[in-house]
Chains A and B, each alone.
Chain A
Amino acid sequence: MPYEQLLSETALADERYVVMTAENRALVRNMPRILGNRFIDTGITEQTMIGAAAGLALRGRIPVVHALTAFLTMRAFEFIRTDIGIANLPVKLSGFIPGFLSDANGPTHQAIEDISLMRGIPHMEVYAPADEDDLEQMLPAIWASPHPAYVRINTRPGSFKHEPFEPGKAELIATGDDITLLTYGLMLEQTLLAADILRGEGKSVGIVNMRSLKPVDEKAILQAADSRLMVTIEDHFLTGGLYSIVAETLLKHRVTANVLPFALKDKWFKPALLPDVLQFEGFTGKQIAEEILGYEVGRESVRTQPNEFAE
């Protein structure tokens, strides 16, 4: 089901929902007609929109707010943190063109630190659907939660039929002894291609679609650490995204592992159309598989049992 249809059905069934945008209408073009005065376009005013969403939530509304992810999560960051985070209001942030999806727009439009920023806000939940089907599985539970939530919106059609969603749970697509690929969002498509190539080379390959980055599925991460190599694949800065989440989780549970990250290492990506970006930055399934095959697993991962002081 397309995003806009799901949103309109949800809002029509429950009067508490209001749909807001900072004049980004790509996802909500028909909402003025469908929702009347429960559609609010504040113009290009991300900060004012977030403050107004907090006010609407104070009156019992559930605002689903829209803007390009870069401007939603960064221009309005302090408003999100202060007006929505401190008050723990159920405002649902729909960020458009996250990660590589901003293709030829340039660094001003690249949201590749959004996961890092949003998960740093107490109460804020963070989700990243892999494609349109995944989005449809995930959004009803996200919108029904009493907490604020940020969603990396991805409406691209996918080839994969996803399982039902539960917040805090990853989707375990496959398990493997040699390599486990952990990913989220847009990069699942290339991850599936990489897995096919690796299997063709005789490797036993696990695949995890993280879906829920906060709360995160710690069990899925710890299970992945049982394979000889863990690989994190994300269109995000290395700092603060899935690689960081994996590191935090392993450290918390006193587990060491071989982890190979695919992420943007302290740089913005080269702007161009999406297929060219993937190729240039080394994020195609083929390039990922080749780099994994060339990676030497130095030693068997050491799994340390939690001691008496650990949780």
Chain B
Amino acid sequence: MLFSTEQHRLLEEKAFTVRQHIIRMATGGGCFIGASLSAADLLVYLYSGFLHIDKSSLDHEDRDYLFLSKGHDVPALYGTLAEAGIINRERLQNHLSIDDHIYWHPNTRVSGIEFHSGSLGHLPSVAIGVAMDIKIRQGNNRVICILGDGELNEGTCWEAMLVAQAYKLDNLVFVVDRNQFQANVATEELIPLEPLTDKFAAFGAAVQRINGHDFAAIDKAFSACTPQGKPHVIIADTVRGKGLPSIESRADRWFCNFSGEEIDQLLAELDGSRPALLTSETLVVR
């Protein structure tokens, strides 16, 4: 994708709005705010032109597919779907309401969500099934499956890697939201994952490792996921709680249920940590 300064600025704007949506869902019962903020930039990028998914093509056989396997980050997807015009923004206010289906894990009652998740290590295999059918039908659509790094503990993730390379599923991209944490502890302090690039490469994948908050890097990586006879893996290094320095990279900021007053403070904090709006000059400096 050609990536103009204006497009870059729009992505930053949209990501900021999605983070506001996420923060507003972290009250009245709460949500998994840390994991949602780490995945926000990836989702915003994917739904801003890369994926062939829009409101009119949600059930088209040749649409691209996005599977959110880690599940806890669904507030980021709710927010992104709202900004992409796939669900109404007003619906986000129904988070946890008995009258809607906007709850702590993804489900297909929300337009744009392809499959339910929450039990870790399931969607890599579901994504494989979809990618296999696309191959059988000789389609060109792509399948993206977003995984948490903690989720990689589950053995089924690695079974899926074996099967994906056996069937040469080069239309399939596994994205690891590498925010360094599982629910309660840092991954490397419990079940170390590194060297993660080497592990995926040994399983036969084409692996890229990027900064998962840098839109130019994200764009470059996804644009490189062309058919090469092997499944793709993008390890996106991210920060849990990204955008809110007071909760960033904190083991105890996984699931949070804040008071209304705290939400106002967090929204102000997000605003304060907002990078200066990109202009052609600042982009050159970067």
Contacts and interface: CB of A to CB of B under 8 A. Distances in A.
A105 B119 contact: no
Given A23-B190, A104-B29, A106-B118, A44 B96 contact: no
B68 to A, nearest CB: 12
Contacts of A272: 96-98, 103
Interface stretch (A147-155, A188-196, A273-281): A273-281
Contacts of A108: 71, 105, 116-119
B10 interface: no
B191 interface: yes
Contact of B154 (A41, A44, A104, A277): A44
A45 interface: yes
Contact of B184 (A23, A106, A277): A23
A292 to B, nearest CB: 24
Contact of A277 (B98, B151, B153, B183): B98
B155 interface: yes
A83 to B, nearest CB: 15
B104 interface: yes
A25 interface: yes
A280 B96 CA distance: 13
A44 B185 CA distance: 12
Contacts of B42: none
A66 to B, nearest CB: 12
Nearest to A22: B153
Interface in A258-305: 270-273, 276-277, 279-280
Contacts of B180: none
Q: Is the interface of B mostly helix, strand, loop or mixed?
A: loop
Contacts of A45: 153-155, 191
B151 A276 contact: no
Interface string A82-108: 000000000000000000000011111
Contacts of A23: 150, 153, 182-185, 190
B49 to A, nearest CB: 30
A44 B150 contact: yes
A249 interface: no
A109 interface: yes
Contact of A105 (B103, B182, B191): B103
Contacts of A104: 29, 96, 103-104
B103 A106 contact: yes
A77 interface: no
B97 A48 contact: no
B184 A25 contact: yes
A71 interface: yes
A232 interface: no
A106 B109 CA distance: 12
Contact of B118 (A47, A109, A279): A109
A88 to B, nearest CB: 26
Contact of A109 (B101, B105, B150): B105
Interface in A1-46: 23-25, 41-45
Contacts of A48: 155
A44 B150 CA distance: 7
A277 B120 CA distance: 24
Nearest to B107: A106
B150 A107 contact: no
A270 B98 contact: yes
A41 B98 contact: no
A105 B104 contact: yes
A42 B185 CA distance: 12
A25 B183 contact: yes
Contacts of B119: 70-71, 75, 108-109
Which 7 pairs of residues, A with B, have the shortest CB-CB distance?
A108-B118, A43-B191, A43-B153, A44-B153, A272-B98, A276-B98, A106-B105
19 contacts: A23-B182, A23-B183, A41-B185, A43-B150, A43-B153, A44-B121, A44-B153, A44-B154, A44-B183, A45-B191, A71-B119, A75-B119, A105-B118, A106-B103, A108-B71, A109-B119, A270-B98, A271-B101, A273-B29
Interface of A: 23-25, 41-45, 47-48, 70-71, 75, 104-109, 270-273, 276-277, 279-280
Given A105-B104, A107-B107, A276-B98, 12 more contacts: A23-B182, A25-B184, A41-B185, A44-B153, A44-B154, A44-B183, A71-B119, A104-B29, A105-B105, A109-B119, A272-B98, A273-B29
